């Protein structure tokens, strides 16, 4: 089955810096890659997603890149703000099987 | 649109009792719902996939007789934790998809279960 690895487990940056979180997946049939932000005790919130027919997607300060050959995808956050502090999860899905497999999470701390 | 609710948000029960958690899609019909468990500072682990009108598909290592899932309608799935023990204490989150062709899953707010 699918296995998703995520790095780093914790990431501390200064406000205004960029943050990059990386994930690798094992199943070449995976074709949907969402990123979620989760605050303590809350539900995961979808912040951006990418499908396998696209190499990059951007939404304001957030971007995701996908390298299908290497089977890895990354989340890029620019101009970080303290409110970006949260746990971020990547996930991968083969829509034929529907289920999402989550990475282990990255705790991002943005210091003012 | 695409709102998913869960009830209750928090529940405390005694060891050996059963607890039922409801997951509802409020403004769309969900052909598929998923149940996840999340331990403190850990990732979401899929427990089972629930399709309306059919038996749930459980992930390896998840006891189907302990975690009973019923998906009786296109807007409601329930998870019953039977004979709960302290090690079942966790954050249980459901999600729902609009249809088989849909990519996105919409998550409920979660239920914090504490077994004493």
Instruction: Tell me the per-residue pLDDT of A30-57, one tens digit each, with 9 for 90 and over.
Output: 999 999 999 999 999 999 999 988 899 9
Torsion of CA A100, B69, B80, B40, to 10 degrees: -10
- d(CA A39, CA A52) in angstroms, rounded, equals 28
Q: What is the pLDDT of residues B64-106, one digit of tens each?
A: 999 999 988 899 999 999 999 999 999 999 999 987 677 889 9
Is A106 strand, coil or helix?
Answer: strand
Does B99 touch chain A if contact means CB atoms closer than 8 Å? no
Query: What is the Rg, in whole angstroms, of the alpha carbon atoms belonging to chain B?
Result: 13
DSSP string computed for B37-68: EE-TTS--EEEEEEETTSPPEEPTT--TTTEE
pLDDT of B54: 85
Query: Among A7, A90, A102, which would you mutate to test the B interface (most chain B Cβ atoms within 10 Å of its Cβ)?
Result: A102
Mean pLDDT taken over chain B: 93
Does A32 touch chain B if contact means CB atoms closer than 8 Å? yes
> Which residues of A1-112 form beta strands (DSSP E)?
4-7, 10-14, 19-25, 32-38, 45-51, 56-59, 62-67, 72-77, 86-93, 100-102, 106-111
**What token pair was written down for B107?**
């998550």
């Amino acid at each position: 089955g699918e296995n998703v690895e995520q790095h780093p487990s914790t990431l501390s940056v200064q406000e205004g810096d960029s943050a990059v979180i990386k994930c690798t997946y094992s199943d070449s049939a995976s074709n949907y890659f969402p990123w979620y932000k989760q605050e303590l005790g809350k539900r995961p919130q979808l912040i951006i997603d990418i499908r396998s027919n696209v190499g990059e997607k951007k939404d304001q300060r957030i971007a995701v890149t996908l390298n299908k050959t290497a089977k890895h995808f990354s989340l890029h956050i620019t101009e970080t703000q303290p409110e970006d502090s949260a746990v971020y999860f990547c996930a991968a899905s083969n829509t034929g099987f529907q289920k999402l497999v989550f990475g282990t999470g990255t705790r991002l701390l943005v210091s003012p | 649109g695409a709102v998913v609710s869960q009830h209750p948000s928090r529940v405390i029960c005694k060891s050996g009792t059963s607890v039922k958690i409801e997951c509802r899609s409020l403004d769309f019909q969900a052909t598929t719902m998923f149940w996840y468990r999340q331990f403190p500072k850990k990732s979401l682990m899929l427990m089972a996939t629930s399709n309306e009108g059919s038996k749930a598909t459980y992930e390896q290592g998840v006891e189907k007789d302990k975690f009973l899932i019923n998906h009786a309608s296109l807007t409601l799935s329930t998870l019953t934790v039977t004979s709960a023990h302290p090690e079942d204490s966790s954050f249980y989150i459901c999600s729902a998809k609009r249809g088989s062709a849909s990519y996105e899953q919409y998550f409920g707010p979660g239920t914090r279960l504490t077994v004493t």
